[in-house]
Amino acid sequence: MVISLRAKTFRGGVHPPPCKEMTKGLPIRRAALPPVVRIPLVQNAGDPPRFIVKKGHYVRTGEKIAEASGPVSVPLHASISGTISRIENVPVPYGGVGLAAEIEGDGKDERAWGSEGSTDPHALSREEILARIRDAGIVGLGGAEFPTHLKLSPPPEKKLECVIINGAECEPFLTADHRLMLERPGDVIAGARLIMRAAAAPCAFIGIENNKRDAYEAVRKLSAGMSDITAILLKVKYPQGAEKQLIRATVKREVPSGGLPADVGVVVQNVGTAVAVWEACGAGKPLYERVVTVSGQSVREPANWLVRMGTPFTDIIRQSGGLTPDAAVLIMGGPMMGVAQWTTDVPVVKGTCGIIALPECAPAEVKPRACLHCGLCLRVCPMGLSPAFIRQAAEKGRWNLAGQYGVNDCMECGACAYVCTTSKNQIQLYKRAKLELKKRSGHAS
């Protein structure tokens, strides 16, 4: 009890049912090597890379298949060994279709990496670490997919004072980060240390929600002797893992409106990203697999899988016992901010932290009616906005008014829609309002 009082948090937020019991006790298992993978070209926020392979090329696991192109871009790597069978538009989990390279596997899983002589990763210079992170194609694995090497090198006038490793995992159902911290706390800490070096930050915090006490203990025990790495217990509350809220909870700083964590001397990285950084620097391993939680009431045998990028959801779901007949909604990510899928025929990408199948979609059924002015949304908004007024402005198409009410500060966590009794389509309205405002500012300039 005393310890939970010490747990830190932010203002606002909601308490959806955590639903983590199904998978939190299940060790991460390596999924079967997929016979075919489809690797979408766009798997990072920013500029899309450029394919450097053609149909018929033979590639080995970890071999580069696309080159970074543009300032905000990272390369892509083959996740199995085999032959490029086609490069075409296929359904992608972000919605719609996108260009992807299909690799027909030879079942040998021949590696293209790990041959370089091993250097002590902790002896690497800042520039070397950043280069390895970039070359390994590492992006934010929490779902945002922003290139990690760029996040770690803000403009020189912004000095980073600390790194926060995000182990909050506040979305219901997801346990991938939980298992990673529990099973590989040493790798998380080693990754954190490399990130500290790359960011030139003197200390790091690893923020973990109070419902993952075993993971917290594992990390705390290993970091006990370190004065510069501290495990922090966070209250269980959604969206505790949102970047700005995590920073507020951990170091009590508020990222200014429209600003970035670097503005308050902080950089946040997900635990999965930290492990990927460690693997890239320690073993030269490119980012071609990740941990994915497959869960939800409509999945027969929920599990935590280590999955090769590009593996079709269909394969992973089959290995999780398949779906029950009542499955109605399929989500990539968590159920709060995740993206609904229309088919299981989409590939796992770098930002796929979970695959969730749910029986019904109550929120989709709610017909919007007039706002009751109850004020629940104001109380839960982690950004201190007035969602009710943004919604009303957007419903009338008054985009500028929505802007005045701060819609651009909204991170679309969905806490307002979660508690609202009269509407569930707030996030759609906010997205639309942001788009309209962007269009307008574009015209004005």
Partner 1 sequence: MPADDTRLFILSPGPHLSADESVEKIMWRVTMALLPALGWGIWSFGAAALRVTAACVVSCVAVEAVVQKLLRKGVTVSDGSAVVTGLLLAFNLPSGVPLWMTAVGSVVAIAIAKQTFGGLGYNIFNPALIGRAFLMASYPVQMTTWRPYGAWDNVTGATPLGIIKEKLALPLPSYMDMFLGRIGGCIGETSTLLLLLGAAFLLVAGDITWHTPISFFGALALMSWLSGRDPLFAILAGGAVLGACFMATDMVTAPISGKGRLIFGAGCGLITGAIRVWGGYPEGVCYAILLMNAFTPIIDRYTQPRRFGSRSKGQPRICAD
Residue among 54 and 342 whose Cβ is closer to partner 1: 342
In contact, 172 and 16? CB cutoff 8 Å: yes
d(CA 169, CA 212): 9
Tell me: does residue 381 bind partner 1 (CB under 8 A): yes
The number of beta carbons lying within 10 Å of the beta carbon of residue 395 is: 17
Tell me: does residue 113 bind partner 1 (CB under 8 A): no
* Positions in 263-302 near partner 1 (CB under 8 A): 264-265
Residue from 62, 82, 137, 414 binding partner 1 (CB under 8 A): 414
H-run or E-run covering 165:
strand 162-167
Query: Which range of residues in 43-51, 65-73, 106-114, 413-421 is near partner 1 by CB under 8 A?
Result: 413-421
Tell me: does residue 352 bind partner 1 (CB under 8 A): no
Residue among 198 and 317 whose Cβ is closer to partner 1: 317
Residue from 187, 209, 412, 436 binding partner 1 (CB under 8 A): 412
Q: Cα dihedral sign for 118, 122, 128, 133? A: positive
- Of 58, 43, 130, nearest in space to 94 by CA: 43
| Nearest distance, CB of residue 337 and partner 1, angstroms | 5
| Nearest distance, CB of residue 120 and partner 1, angstroms | 27
Tell me: does residue 234 bind partner 1 (CB under 8 A): no
| Nearest distance, CB of residue 364 and partner 1, angstroms | 4
d(CA 215, CA 226): 17
Tell me: does residue 90 bind partner 1 (CB under 8 A): no
Tell me: does residue 203 bind partner 1 (CB under 8 A): yes
d(CA 22, CA 241): 21
* Positions in 139-178 near partner 1 (CB under 8 A): 161-162, 172
Tell me: does residue 408 bind partner 1 (CB under 8 A): no
Tell me: does residue 401 bind partner 1 (CB under 8 A): no
Structure tokens at 380: 């839960």
| Nearest distance, CB of residue 179 and partner 1, angstroms | 22
Instruction: Give the up-direction half-sphere exposure of residue 229: CA atoms within 13 A in the CB hemisphere.
Output: 23
- Of 287, 282, 400, nearest in space to 352 by CA: 287
Burial of 15: CB neighbours in 10 Å, binned 0-12, 13-18, 19+: exposed
Residue among 34 and 147 whose Cβ is closer to partner 1: 34
- Pair type for strands 36-40 and 354-358: unpaired
Which stretches of 246-322 are assigned E, i.e. beta strand? 266-270, 289-295, 303-308
Query: Which range of residues in 38-46, 144-152, 212-220, 330-338 is near partner 1 by CB under 8 A?
Result: 330-338
Query: Which range of residues in 11-19, 85-93, 111-119, 302-310 is near partner 1 by CB under 8 A?
Result: 11-19
Residue among 26 and 401 whose Cβ is closer to partner 1: 401
Residue from 217, 254, 301, 395 binding partner 1 (CB under 8 A): 254
Size of the site for partner 1 (CB under 8 A): 86
DSSP result, 311-365: -BHHHHHHHTT-B-TT--EEEES-TTTPEEES-S--B--TT--EEEEES--HHHH
Residue from 76, 170, 251, 294 binding partner 1 (CB under 8 A): 251
Query: Which range of residues in 29-37, 59-67, 147-155, 249-257 is near partner 1 by CB under 8 A?
Result: 249-257
| Nearest distance, CB of residue 330 and partner 1, angstroms | 4
- Give the CA dihedral 360, 362, 363, 367, nearest 10 degrees: 130
Residue from 194, 418, 433, 434 binding partner 1 (CB under 8 A): 418
